[in-house]
Amino acid sequence: MPSAFDADLATARDGWLLPAFGRAVTYTTAAGVATSIDQAMVGPVEDVDEDAPDGRVLRQVREVSISTDDVADPQINATVTIDSVVYAVEAITSQTYAMSTLRVVRIGSREKSRPEYRG
């Protein structure tokens, strides 16, 4: 049973928080079943440069909070589409009876190594 705080937070979430700040996203399971979510809390993109065996990669990481009414049991082998950009669910960082927070990532190449390119 949720605490009084959790119940109040869920009321605020549904009453004004998500309608004011929520964004439309699509959650897609590994089996390809898509769920449109009208009001998800989407965090900013964090760009992380990393070394890779064949050059450098850019990891774009962000957090997305979705209602358990929309997706009751999110999985890490799913994807989330935000503004036509597909992100893989890397981790579920928080899960309560009302909300799940997902860390999503998109990985692209920054530069590729080429033989004898530099030197």
Q: What is the pLDDT of residues 40-69, one digit of tens each?
A: 999 999 999 888 787 788 999 999 999 988
Q: Tell me: the pLDDT tens digits for 29-48?
A: 999 999 999 999 999 999 99
For the chain, how many structural domains are there in total?
Answer: 1
Residue 119: inside a domain: no
Residue 64: inside a domain: yes
Residue 94: inside a domain: yes
Residue 88: inside a domain: yes
Residue type, 2: P
What pLDDT is stored for residue 115 in this prediction?
A: 60
Residue 38 structural domain: 4-112
CA distance 31 to 115: 40
Residue 117: inside a domain: no
Q: Is the pTM of this model over 0.85?
A: no
List the beta strands (DSSP E) in the chain: 23-28, 34-42, 46-52, 55-67, 79-82, 85-95, 99-112
Residue 71: inside a domain: yes
Residue 118: inside a domain: no
Residue 12: its H or E element? helix 4-12
